Amino acid sequence: MEAGYAPFNWSQQTDENNALPIQGQNSYAGGYDVQIAKKVADGLGKKLVIVQTKWDGLAPALQSGK
């Protein structure tokens, strides 16, 4: 996720308000998209890993299996 479009998703410096760590960074992602992704992952019995990706990189990342 891009983590730049509040209230859907954004990045922040702390884990307050149930924000989750962004992989490879010293920041956290918060927002509606993060909470929905967490519920889906929990329902599937998977660990949610948030990777900050620019909008232009989302489709190529999916196509490459990331």
What is the C-alpha to C-alpha distance for residues 61 and 66, in angstroms, rounded to an integer?
5
* More reliable by pLDDT, 8 or 53: 8
- Residue 1: predicted pLDDT: 85
| pLDDT, position 16 | 96
Question: Residue 21: its pLDDT value, please?
Answer: 98
pLDDT single digits (tens) 10-66: 999 999 999 999 999 999 999 999 999 999 999 999 999 999 988 888 888 889 987
pLDDT in tens, 16-25: 999 999 999 9
Of 65, 47, 58, 62, the C-alpha closest to 3 is 58
Tokens of 11: 């990045």
Give bridge partners of residue 9 from the DSSP assignment: 5
